[in-house]
């Protein structure tokens, strides 16, 4: 093996390590946002991630940069989960229900993002389009599979379902008497087709 081959392998390992570290940091930030909102202190995120505050600022110079990165990371995780759940769940309905549960987790951070970036901000608009482009087709595939299996009504559109779930999640966590996840569960159960 030549010197350039070893250098290429070492460089590839460093890039893979950097991607893995960034994913870990984004996961920690997402968990912190879920637990305490997008205004959680950066030192708390750093502690969760097991890194110094400087490491976070080196990757994400502003809070908005971090929030946007977490948002994109979570959109991708949600998009990638759909096909995996469809392949590994007992039924397409079970895959859909589990995916919606993941989507609810994501929405808590998304609503915080909207507040943090202001809904008229061009960054937010671009992220919302990205969100729709990535997640509506995943939801549609899950709905189609469940409808084809005769498990859910065939007349529900993915965008319509996602919008309904999103609306049920608005304000989740602000009122201890309101259980958004329970209401979303009732909505998803209402999709079932019974013989």
22-79 confidence digits (pLDDT tens): 888 999 998 888 788 788 999 999 999 998 999 999 999 988 889 889 889 989 999 9
DSSP sequence for 44-95: HHHHHHTS-HHHHHHH-SSHHHHHHHHHHHHHHHHHHHHHHHHHHSSSHHHH
Say whether domain 62-194 belongs to CATH 1.10.357.10: yes
Query: What pLDDT shows up at residue 5?
Result: 66
- For residues 9 and 86, give the distance between their C-alpha atoms in angstroms, rounded to a whole number: 35
Domain spans in the chain, listed from the N-terminal domain onward: 1-61, 62-194
100-122 confidence digits (pLDDT tens) = 999 998 886 666 666 665 555 66
Distance CA 143, CA 117 (A): 31
Q: Helix-strand-coil percent breakdown of the chain, rounded to 5?
A: 75, 0, 20
pLDDT at 30: 87
Report the mean per-residue pLDDT for the chain.
86
Position 109 scores a pLDDT of 63
Residues 6+ apart with CB under 8 A from 83: 138, 141
pLDDT at 13 > cutoff 80 = no
The tokens of 193 are what? 């087709």
The reply to whether 62-194 shares the fold of 1-61 is no
The matching CATH number, chosen from 3.60.15.10, 1.10.1660.10, 3.40.50.2300, 1.10.10.60, for 1-61 is: 1.10.10.60
pLDDT (0 to 100) of residue 195: 65
Write down the pTM of the prediction. 0.79
Helix (H, G, I), strand (E, B) or coil at 161: helix
Beta carbons of 32 and 44 less than 8 angstroms apart: yes
pLDDT at 83 over 60: yes
180 or 12: which leads in pLDDT: 180
The answer on pLDDT for 19 being more than 80 is no
């Amino acid at each position: 093996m030549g010197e350039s081959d070893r250098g290429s392998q070492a460089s590839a390992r460093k890039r893979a390590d950097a991607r893995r570290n960034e994913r870990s940091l984004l996961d920690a930030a997402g968990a912190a946002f879920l637990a305490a909102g997008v205004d959680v202190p950066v030192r708390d995120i750093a502690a969760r991630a097991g890194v110094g505050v400087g490491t976070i600022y080196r990757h994400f110079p502003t809070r908005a940069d971090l929030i946007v990165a977490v948002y994109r990371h979570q959109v991708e995780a949600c998009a990638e989960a759909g096909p995996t759940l469809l392949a590994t769940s007992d039924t397409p309905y079970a895959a859909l229900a589990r995916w919606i549960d993941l989507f609810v987790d994501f929405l808590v951070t998304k609503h915080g993002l909207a507040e943090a970036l202001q809904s008229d901000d061009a960054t937010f608009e671009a992220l919302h389009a990205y969100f729709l482009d990535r997640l509506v087709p995943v939801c549609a595939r899950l709905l189609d599979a469940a409808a084809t299996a005769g498990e859910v009504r065939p007349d529900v559109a993915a965008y319509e379902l996602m919008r309904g779930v999103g609306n049920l999640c608005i304000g989740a966590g602000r009122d201890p008497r309101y259980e958004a996840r329970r209401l979303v569960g009732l909505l998803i159960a209402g999709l079932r087709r019974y013989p």
